[in-house]
Amino acid sequence: MTALLEIDHLTRVFGGLRAVDDVTTSVEKGALFGLIGPNGAGKTTLFNLISGFTPPSSGEVRFKGERITGLPTHKIAHRGMSRTFQNLRVFPNMTVFDNISVGALGMLGTGPFSALFGGGETAREISERSWEMLEKVGLADNADDLAANLSYGKRKYLEIARALAMAPELLILDEPAAGMNDAETAELARFIRGLKDEGLTIMLVEHDMGLVMSVCERLVVLASGRKIADDVPAVVRKDPAVLEAYLGGDD
């Protein structure tokens, strides 16, 4: 299979702390790839390095064969990568529909001025894409609600819908099941599998090991910023280094 994302000796140092330390791995096109590790392992920092929110101290990231290291976030997004965040980043005082429209604007590479004054075709594309994503995540009935009035679980799906509205080739999900109960997590697992079955490549950071083990085809494990395992879930869960990293932890 072809590598969609390549991470080559990626390192990020904050002061004297090596938050991500010489990590090399790749994500194949169409894969459902999991990134796990104890609290403070560097998982979200690695996501931030990949998606351009944090510059690396050294190393390189390549997406679709092209170097994206150091590019601004919007340029990386326009190349086909979108993400959600561990701490929800919805626009609370905008409607659900308008939140998703922000993602659709990104899909078209269109700014708000062009969307408003660029003609009916652009506005129609944004509207159609937004409604498509509303239906996909089950929020069509909430289209006119303020995002602030949604339940926590629905806000999670709203953020996913906004990321999907950009029509990404790679979707990065940062702890999508955080705060969900068992039934909600099981439904989320079905939803994520469905996205994968549609051909979307997905990277997932998640503390819920039940979810990770049930949906991911391959796992990379970080501990203290370093990669300690990279294999299928059945092998990773028995790896002595992984068991030691989690021993006594909160995960």
State the pLDDT confidence band at 217, using cuts at 50, 70 and 90: very high
For the cut 50, the answer to whether the pLDDT of residue 181 exceeds it is: yes
Phi–psi pair at 68, nearest 5 degrees = -115, 0
Report the pLDDT averaged over residues 141-145: 95
Residue partners of 170: CB distance under 8 A and separation at least 6: 4, 5, 27, 63, 80, 81, 82, 201, 202, 203
State the pLDDT confidence band at 251, using cuts at 50, 70 and 90: very low
pLDDT digits 0-9 by tens, 49-82? 999 999 999 999 999 999 999 899 989 988 999 9
Average pLDDT, the chain: 88
Report the alpha-carbon distance of residue 240 to residue 73 in Å, rounded.
Answer: 37
pLDDT of residue 60: 97
pLDDT digits 0-9 by tens, 98-130? 999 988 876 665 444 444 444 455 778 888 989
Is 0.75 topped by the overall pTM?
Answer: yes
Domains and CATH numbers, the chain: 1-80+168-251 (3.40.50.300), 90-167 (no CATH)
State the pLDDT confidence band at 145, using cuts at 50, 70 and 90: very high
For the cut 50, the answer to whether the pLDDT of residue 167 exceeds it is: yes
pLDDT of residue 228: 95
pLDDT of residue 40: 87
Report the pLDDT averaged over residues 172-180: 90
The tally of CA atoms less than 13 A away on the side-chain side of residue 16 is: 0
- C-alpha 119 chain-centroid distance: 32
More confident residue, 44 or 247: 44
What stretch of H or E contains 159? helix 152-164
Q: What percent of the chain has pLDDT over 70?
A: 91
- What tokens does 243 get? 């068991």
Report the alpha-carbon distance of residue 120 to residue 219 in Å, rounded.
Answer: 45
pLDDT of residue 1: 60
For the cut 70, the answer to whether the pLDDT of residue 248 exceeds it is: no
